[in-house]
A and B are shown apart, each in its own frame.
Chain A
Amino acid sequence: MAGHSESHVHPVSLYTRTLWWLMALLVLTVAAGFIPNVPNWLGVVIALTIAVWKATIVIMNFMHVRFSGKLAWLFAGAGFFWLLIMLAFAFADYVSRPWEPFHGWPE
């Protein structure tokens, strides 16, 4: 297939390394949940950062995007961009709910 790496066979070590990374990040996620006095927003940031990290490892190694052509990168990127659209528009609703067009609105 055009744009794909010449060899379709990848060493088993690639997958075992992926597995260990995911396990380590799982432990990190749980451990982060036990850190005392972390503000809620920071907890969310930490959890989402680790989640994105895990997803990137899976997409790159397990789904072979690392070894693929530009088209595969484009579609993988589009997936992330669409996620960003969903999060941005949905959060925009939550953020802008308290905004008042003028003082005292809507009473």
Chain B
Amino acid sequence: MATATYTGTEKPNYLNWKTTVASWLLTYDHKRIAILYLVSISIFFLLGGLAAAFIRLDLATPKGDLLTSDIYNKMFTTHGVIMIFLFLIPSIPAVFGNFLLPLMIGARDVAFPRLNLLSWYFFMAGALLVLIALFRGGIDTGWTFYTPYSSSFAKGEVSLAIVGVFLAGFASIFTGINFLVTIHKMRAPGMTWFRLPLFVWAMYATSLIQVLGTPVVAITLLLVAVERTFRIGIFDPNLGGDPILYQHLFWFYSHPAVYIMILPAMGVISEVLSAFSKRRVFGYHFVAFSSLAIAIIGFLVWGHHMFSTGQSMYAGIVFSFLTWIVAIPSAIKIFNWMATIWKGRVHWDTPMLYALGFMGLFVIGGLTGLHLAAMATNVHLTDTYFIVAHFHYVMVGGAIMGYLAALHFWWPKMTGRMYPEGWGKLAAMLVFVGFNLTFFPQFILGYMGMPRRYHSYPEEWAVLNVLSTAGSSVLGFGYLLPVIYLTWSLKYGKVVTERNPWGARGLEWELVDPVPDPHNFERIPIVTRPAYDYAHPEEPTGFVPKPRPVVVGGKDG
């Protein structure tokens, strides 16, 4: 019990009740594991961002004066592998999913706390192997590890990196299993499926993808390592293998992986828009089911990554059609969010700025995806900077904006301190402007035919590339600011004394203390109201039942 070991003078919360290093590294508390993930992925984000800075600096001149072509190849692989496997995929699920899910559904922890900690250790072991591979000469396969280059020709520690990604993949599976069981089995009394916050629905859909898709990419990458090490023909045509088979297996996971990144961000946006408009999310059921629809249909579209690989034209037609279909649930979300804000009492705080930024950038990312879903335009645009711009609008403009919205929204709940609002707004603006300045020119470059993954280019594309590099410096500054002021706020930020500084709805805001107790709830609440019940702000979402009176005497006494 918390009180058994706690000897401080402050009221115990999950941060201060034990402070040794071992108490953090051996913790089963979902909130502490979330913090472990937060610290880890923040470091990886900075490393991946550093690689991106080198890429953009090199592209500032047409001849690529900063890096050699070999180093450039290793740099974009480093950027891709770190950002996707070590930052984006664990970002919102492992940090905010872990921290919030039990709080939001009225549980004391996730279903399997030990598995939760094991997930972090698997993630860190995988990350360590990836970093060793990257620092021991690096790898130049791109984050996609396409065969036969990766399995037969690439130099460097490709197998080591693959084993690292394999381990990180299992961390993701563990998180997914944990969340699925937690949501099914550990909801508080009265917390029916349609009273769940939409963030929980999003995490449920994400977990489905993690559990059903990740094993496929894990084994596929392991097969690459097997082919590379033992020369067993699986994907290399010279050994009797089939490289297109690799792409089928890889994209079966890696396209839904985009939804592992974006669905949790969508869940965050539902929470933030509702809280800062003081309105129930419009079309709650549609938004909830659209998460499931994205997760399921998202598994049927992977072939749009392979239109120009020699894939059957008929398969291409089917994949193209299904890709258009998956845009529908995304559009449902956008329209419902707009209706949520409509006539709401909008508050322009930092999380809201990020949420609005998400909506704008995600719409551009989504609509340009439709250009790529159409086979005719895809053939022209594939492997150009149009693709680079498109997926950055979705994965950075979407997922990272959602991540930053979440970080600012729940920061007072996680740390008990408030960040400086003025700096927060400035950073949100810089990120939005810097992002568009970086990536919008890349749509034009791609349309003009500039291929991705080249470190030099003709002079006529110099202006747009310089614009993009200039934008990336603004973006980089915009990302560094939160690192600085959030770290500063841990010591100097205003102490949060009220448990619900945003006036938001949800069980996590109705805990007794501003920072959660190690066990979340003294007694499990009984939920009586729907999510986002802003029409009745005086009514709590759930009430805490009184303890049963202790009967002394009688036949048991």
Q: Are B312 and A99 touching (Cβ within 8 A)?
A: yes
Q: Which of A2, A71, A86 has the most CB of B within 10 A?
A: A86
Per-position contact with B for A73-96: 1 when CB-CB < 8 Å, else 0?
A: 001001100100110011011111
Q: Are B315 and A93 touching (Cβ within 8 A)?
A: yes
Count of chain A to chain B residue pairs whose CB atoms are closer than 8 Å in the complex: 49
Give the residues in chain A near B314, CB-CB below 8 Å.
Answer: 92, 96, 99
In the complex where A78-B212, A97-B312 touch, is A89 in contact with B303 (Cβ < 8 A)? yes
Q: Are B312 and A93 touching (Cβ within 8 A)?
A: yes
Give the residues in chain A near B311, CB-CB below 8 Å.
Answer: 93, 97
Interface of chain B residues 202 through 260 with chain A (CB within 8 A): 211-213, 216, 244-245, 248-249, 252
Chain B interface category by residue count: 20 to 34
Tell me the interface secondary structure of chain B in the complex.
Answer: helix
Q: Are A71 and B184 touching (Cβ within 8 A)?
A: yes
Give the residues in chain A near B245, CB-CB below 8 Å.
Answer: 90
Q: Are B312 and A82 touching (Cβ within 8 A)?
A: no
Is the C-beta of B318 less than 8 angstroms from some C-beta in chain A?
yes
In the complex where A1-B185, A78-B212, A86-B216 touch, is A96 in contact with B312 (Cβ < 8 A)? yes
In the complex where A89-B315, A90-B245, A96-B312 touch, is A82 in contact with B212 (Cβ < 8 A)? yes
Q: Are B303 and A93 touching (Cβ within 8 A)?
A: yes
**Number of A interface residues in the complex (CB < 8 A):** 19
Give the residues in chain B near A79, CB-CB below 8 Å.
Answer: 212
Residue of B nearest to A82 (CB): B212
Complex Cα distance A86/B311, Å? 15
Is the C-beta of B145 less than 8 angstroms from some C-beta in chain A?
no
Complex Cα distance A94/B312, Å? 7
Per-position contact with A for B487-505: 1 when CB-CB < 8 Å, else 0?
A: 0000000000000000000
Is the C-beta of B299 less than 8 angstroms from some C-beta in chain A?
yes
Give the residues in chain B near A2, CB-CB below 8 Å.
Answer: 185
Q: How far is the CB of A89 from the nearest CB of chain B, in Å?
A: 7
Q: How far is the CB of A3 from the nearest CB of chain B, in Å?
A: 10
Q: Are B248 and A93 touching (Cβ within 8 A)?
A: yes
Complex Cα distance A70/B315, Å? 35
Give the residues in chain B near A90, CB-CB below 8 Å.
Answer: 245, 248-249, 252
Is the C-beta of B470 less than 8 angstroms from some C-beta in chain A?
no
In the complex where A71-B184, A86-B252 touch, is A92 in contact with B212 (Cβ < 8 A)? no
Is the C-beta of B300 less than 8 angstroms from some C-beta in chain A?
yes
Interface of chain A residues 15 through 73 with chain B (CB within 8 A): 71
- Picked from B299, B310, B315, the residue with its CB within 8 Å of the CB of A96 is B315
Chain A residues with CB under 8 Å of chain B are 1-2, 71, 75, 78-79, 82, 85-86, 89-90, 92-97, 99, 101
- The 5 closest A-B CB pairs, nearest first, are A93-B315, A96-B312, A96-B314, A90-B248, A97-B312
